[in-house]
Structure 1
Amino acid sequence: LMQLDREGMASFWADFCGLMGAVACSPIPTAAAITGHSPAGGTVVAMWCDYRVMAEGNYRIGLNETQVGLAIPPMIVDGFKRLVGAHRGERLVAEGRLVDAAEACAIGLVDELTATGEVVGRALQWLQRHLALPQHAFLANRRVARADLGRLFESEDLLAAESFVEGWFSESTQMALQALLEQLQSRRQKA
């Protein structure tokens, strides 16, 4: 993403919003299989799924956009708070704090922890169990229970494309992102 120009970032953001809406409003259940760290966009995609399985261990997940100077669109904040609760969500979003896998499960950000090699299989098992339920009742009840997610995507203003692109290209955000990339590269070289 760091190589994109403004037009490319606007296109990416539109596509990403489309992906979020497709997952949140999917007529069939979805499950996220999180096999490692899942900050920012990884968390955003996973949080719209019906179920989230994450690898046990020293992995982190959450919305760390504050740490790099990005404002999070309201629909994402609302979706996040739906999982972890209003007060906890407010704190985590405002601070841009990532949580480890155990805390993520304890607060409802993920539904299940398992060994890394079992994550995909456990997500598939969850889907299979739910596909075995009486489908008419399951899908009707699921649709009602998730209707609030669909409403988050009804307003184009909530997508805030212009605001997101401007924030992404602000000098402070670019500096913070560059510092984060350098930190990650340094860790990889030491490993």
Structure 2
Amino acid sequence: MAQIETRAHGDIIELRLARGPVNALDPTLCTALRDALAAAVRSGAHGIALTGGPSVFSAGLDVPYLMSLGEDRGALMHAWEAFFGAARALVASPVPIAAGIAGHAPAGGCVLALCCDYRVMARSPDAAKPFRIGLNETQVGLVAPEGIQRLLRRVVGPHRAERLLVGGLMPTTDEAFAIGLVDEVAFVDDTAARAIEWARSLSMLPRHPVLETRSIARADAVDALHPRHIELERFVEAWYLPDTQAALRAVLERLGKPR
């Protein structure tokens, strides 16, 4: 079964994350996303909608898979390279991308959303269990690389980004909208349609001015994910620190996964 479902809506292409149950990002899914983006652009897409869910847009990196790699630093490096490859493909897309977030988007899921031009997020149908989005890395023993922090700062501002990053906070949909982390709130069943409509609205404008203006405006986002701002080797080494491993094992216990 394809891990990315591609649907054409005229000249807007929807790419739906389809790795059940929670679209956890392993190398296969990340590579499939990068390839699907390239194929959409080659097909002449004027815009892209990246969707996922319901309930979970993407739960972020596949922690059980990553922990199963043990001391194999090469395999761990490959997994993270695949993730950042997908993120770079999103942020450097030559056409606008809107994220339709029909559920939770923690950690890597939030990164994918931040790499898009526009974010439509669903409000949970259960007010007692609101959907949340954010970079909760510190809560699971990780440090978000400088480049990822730059992506958040450009969207919500430096002081608010600091508060969110240091605490590993996960705002609700309404809180995220209030601080500009998401651009629009919709019903769960409408998030994809709203993302598609936003991309279509840009496609109706004069194409060259839109794409040139966008390229200038997003140069800082593209630069944020340059390898010098990620320092992947340093990040992978930190993965094996005792407190990080302890926090990650606690995540596996909460998920009911064997260590």
TM-score by length of structure 2 reads 0.68
Deviations 1:165-191 (A, max 9, x none): 1222323222212222333449xxxxx
Alignment of 1:54 with 2:121, yes or no, is yes
Contact 1:69 1:167 in 2 (8 A): no
In structure 2, stretches of 5+ residues that fail to align are 1-65, 125-129
In structure 2, which of residues 146, 150, 156 is the aligned counterpart of residue 78 of structure 1?
Answer: 150
Change beyond 3 A, Cα 1:51–1:116: same
Distance 1:35 1:9 in 2: 29
Kindly state the Cα deviation for residue 89 of structure 1 after the two structures are TM-superposed. 0.3
Q: Deviations over 1:26-68 (max 9, x none)?
A: 1100111111111100001110100011110201110110111
Q: Which 4+ stretches in 1 moved above 4 angstroms? A: none
Please name the residue that 1:102 is paired with.
Answer: 174
Structure (1/2) with the larger helix percentage: 1
For residue 177 of structure 1, what is the amino acid of its counterpart?
A: L
Question: What's the CA shift for 1:2?
Answer: 2.5
| Structure 1 unpaired stretches of 5+ | 187-191
CA RMSD in angstroms comes to 1.6
Of Structure 1 and Structure 2, the greater strand share is in 2
Counterpart for residue 237 of structure 2: 166
Task: Choose the corresponding residue for 1:23, options 90, 93, 106.
Answer: 90
CA distance in structure 1 between the partners assigned to 2:80 and 2:175 by the alignment? 29
- Superposed counterparts of 1:27-46, under 5 Å: 27-46=94-113
Q: Are 1:118 and 2:190 counterparts? A: yes
Matches of 1:139 and 1:108, distance apart in 2: 23
Q: Percent sequence identity over matched residues?
A: 46
Higher RCO, 1 vs 2 (CA within 8 Å, ≥6 residues apart): 1
Q: Distance in 2 between matches of 1:183 and 1:55?
A: 25
- State the alpha-carbon separation in 1 of the partners of residues 103 and 93 from structure 2: 24
What secondary structure sits across from 2:116 in the alignment?
Answer: coil
